[in-house]
A and B are shown apart, each in its own frame.
Chain A
Amino acid sequence: MSVGLLGTKLGMTQVFDESGKAIPVTVIQAGPCRVTQVKTVETDGYTAVQIGFGEAREKALTKPELGHLTKSEAPPLRYLQEYRTDSPDDFSLGQEVKVDIFTANQQVDVSGKSIGRGFAGYQKRHNFRRGPMAHGSKNHRLPGSTGAGTTPGRIYPGKKMAGRMGGVKTTVRKLTVVQIDGDRNLILLKGSVPGKPGTLINITPANLVGAAKS
């Protein structure tokens, strides 16, 4: 797997393709990221590249973090992300990684933090069906039965119930890159990505089953 990119979600719009079809796209401002660490078998036992994104004030970071970043002469960066790669020699410390590592029509995986929905009920969280709303029914949004009776005398672990929903890392796979704007560091992906505008987004080349490892 080659290196990916960090960015922020800006929002959604639509673009027209060459046949005139309107395509829903998400606009992501990705990079430029800096290579902050190159891990090799000799030093770390495996190969990976660490990149940083999101300039911050110096005071926002701890001294160990700042010390780590000075090795690559990078400015204070808020987010660090590591990507496993077989060819870490292609990257050098302090090198800039930009959106041009992706091309149009390429498939990518996108992960980010989904919108937090708070304490959500059965219908919203697990797509339970609702009860009748009228005819004397008092069972509008209740869960129904949660298990058998005296045997086993308990509810099995993992039973779907109401609770906190969203606000967790979610990955959307195989999104198509529609357009790349190198000047403004923009990447347009077909479809939606997790989170609200402003969310930190991690874009990697699609992890396809059966695909040759690059």
Chain B
Amino acid sequence: MNAQEIIRSIESEQLKQDLPIIYVGDTVRVGVVIQEGGKERVQPYEGTIIAMRNGGINRTITVRRIFQGIGVERVFLVHSPRVASIKVVRRGKARRAKLYYLRDRVGKATRLKQRFDRPL
């Protein structure tokens, strides 16, 4: 085995196999494991995927939502054990890979058209 194969095999042990197919523009509900006083619980976080980075084990999604009038963006390491679950709530139509333009929009303009050709 050469160096790349060995590193890939180390990574493959940690990759999640049961991830849903997600695209930029989708609305997802991410279950985040948080620790509170020695106890663990799963907190949901729902928002639109505005960016995705496909880096093998370093694969991340940036999820944006408007919370109490303030835009919040969280970057999740998709394969991390801290991300308990990812559920696609709605498929959105996006014509570019990074939806950073949504940051400059407020209210109704932040909506994305729903698409129905991809299963949830």
Contact = CB atoms under 8 A, between A and B. Distances in A.
A177 interface: no
A29 B10 CA distance: 13
Interface residues of B, number: 16
A92 interface: no
A22 B77 contact: yes
B6 A15 contact: no
Contacts of B57: 13-14
B14 interface: yes
Interface in B1-20: 1, 3-4, 6-7, 10-11, 14
Among A11, A12, A22, A184, which residue has the most Cβ atoms of chain B within 10 A?
A22
B44 interface: no
Nearest to A29: B6
Contacts of A11: 3-4, 7
A198 interface: yes
Given A22-B77, A22-B80, A16 B6 contact: no
A184 B4 CA distance: 14
Contacts of A198: 3
B81 A27 contact: no
Contact of A27 (B7, B77, B80): B7
B3 A197 contact: yes
Interface in A1-27: 10-16, 20, 22, 27
A11 B57 CA distance: 14
Contacts of B77: 22
Interface in B43-98: 57-58, 77, 79-82
Contacts of B81: 16, 20
B22 interface: no
A99 interface: no
Contacts of B79: 16
B80 A20 contact: yes
A14 B7 contact: no
Interface of A: 10-16, 20, 22, 27, 29, 184, 186, 188, 197-198
